[in-house]
Chain A
Amino acid sequence: EVQLVESGGGLAQPGGCLRLSCAASGFTFSTYSMNWVRQAPGQGLEWLSYIGSDNRRVYYADSVRGRFTISRDNAQNALYLQMNSLTVEDTAVYYCVRDENWQLIDWGQGTLVTVSS
């Protein structure tokens, strides 16, 4: 069974930083590309970032480029999102998502990030 478990969410101050982690199991992590998608309270889904299976291809949404960094450790079956210069607009549930040909096929349960002073 595929499992994606996010952690690292919580309360951050504007201008602060957080690092999200996603522990993957139940599939060969090193062969799948991964994404981060977020959902602000009461809002729709927003794709943030993609990383290829071998770390070579990385893409970002304009809203987070230059502030967020996606990375992965295939030896540890882990995906990360380093989030810097946080603003109140970054308040959302953040999902780790397994990708197959741009189908977002498996989602974690999400971790809530709240940015507030």
Chain B
Amino acid sequence: DIQMTQSPSSLSASVGDRVTITCQASQDISDYLNWYQQKPGKAPKLLIYGASNLETGVPSRFSGSGSGTDFTFTIRSLQPEDIGTYSCQQYGNLPLTFGGGTKVGI
């Protein structure tokens, strides 16, 4: 199975800050990586697919980059409504696997 190592596991930032989360795959997954946001008590929501493509309706302050084994997710200017847990997910091979999640607080 492909292991997804996500860091940090949690962070606290101020409104307006730039926030960066990294995800490392245990083997090359090309750009087969998605990012999800999960607000407390809610289901996850797809934000970024194919490593860098913004899902329809997602604010442009969210972005993703990377390929191969190293990926980055960025919130350009953190907003209060961005509080939640962010997780990466690879689909380079089955089983689909997720990173451990990054809890973002303000």
Contact = CB atoms under 8 A, between A and B. Distances in A.
For chain A, the bracket of interface size reads: 10 to 19
Contact of B89 (A45, A95, A108): A45
B98 interface: yes
A51 to B, nearest CB: 13
Interface residues of B, number: 23
Nearest to A65: B95
A104 B66 CA distance: 20
Contacts of A44: 87, 98-101
A47 B97 contact: yes
Give the interface SS of chain B, mostly helix, strand, loop or mixed. Answer: loop
A102 B95 CA distance: 11
A116 interface: no
Interface string A58-78: 010110000000000000000
B105 interface: no
A97 B69 CA distance: 26
Interface in B22-58: 32, 34, 36, 42-46, 49-50, 55
Interface of A: 35, 44-47, 50, 59, 61-62, 95, 102-105, 107-110
Interface of B: 1, 32, 34, 36, 42-46, 49-50, 55, 87, 89, 91, 94-101
